[in-house]
Amino acid sequence: MLTKKQKDLLLFIHERMRTGDIAPSFDEMREALGLQSKSGIHRLVTALVERGYLERLPHRARALEVKKLPEGYAPDSNDSTPAANTTRATNDVYAIAAMQSIPLYGRIAAGTPIEAIRDETRQVEIPPSMLGRGDHYALEVDGDSMIKAGINDGDTVIIQKCDNAPDGTIVVALVDGEEVTLKRIKRDQGKVVLVPENDAYEDRVLEPDRVRIQGKLISLFRTYH
């Protein structure tokens, strides 16, 4: 992990060398970083060389080569330098490594309830930013009753396991112990109402003991063909 000064210097050198092969002078580096002496720059450059971010080229004055950029740094799309390409490849590896696997239990009806298909062998890779706390699973949407909520047929929804949810939440509801559906839930006069998000479908009004919440929607992803 680089310090802020090391990172600032590395990026300054990289930006200056993108259009040429001559590194900025130590005085230019010192002024760019607001340091009082060149000795501080010398220590920063040495540290970057030791960590493999810079390489000193022999027999050439001011000869430095940027080997890689800071981890997590996103180079400009028009930056085709070797250092930028190396950094993009490294970031891709880190992104893949950070993905989390959650079970894909099958297809859930967003129109007519269907029996849940639970297959523990199927997994999907999800960025951590799409997950909340607790346990999660994924379901494939089958139907169009939730399109006004932005949930389309073929989408994959990410569900956070829970057994209760406030009114207005989109939930996975198990009906009569065998049918599962994705709907918005509300309570009205002692009844549980499963509300679609499509005017072509009607609300489903049920006794509370017929409905069991199995999770709530927290995110989704869509594949375009």
Q: Annotated active-site positions, please?
A: 145, 183
Give the separation between CA 7 and CA 73, rounded to whole angstroms: 10
Q: Are 164 and 144 in contact (CB under 8 A)?
A: no
Residues 6+ positions from 100 with CB-CB distance below 8 Å: 125, 126, 127, 128, 131
Q: Are 64 and 55 in contact (CB under 8 A)?
A: yes
Residues written for the chain: 225
**Rounded alpha-carbon distances, angstroms, from residue 188 to 51, 112, 117, 168, 197:** 64, 22, 30, 12, 18
What single letter denotes the amino acid at residue 152? N
Give which of 77, 75, 71 is closest to 94, Cα–Cα: 71
Give the separation between CA 80 and CA 77, rounded to whole angstroms: 8
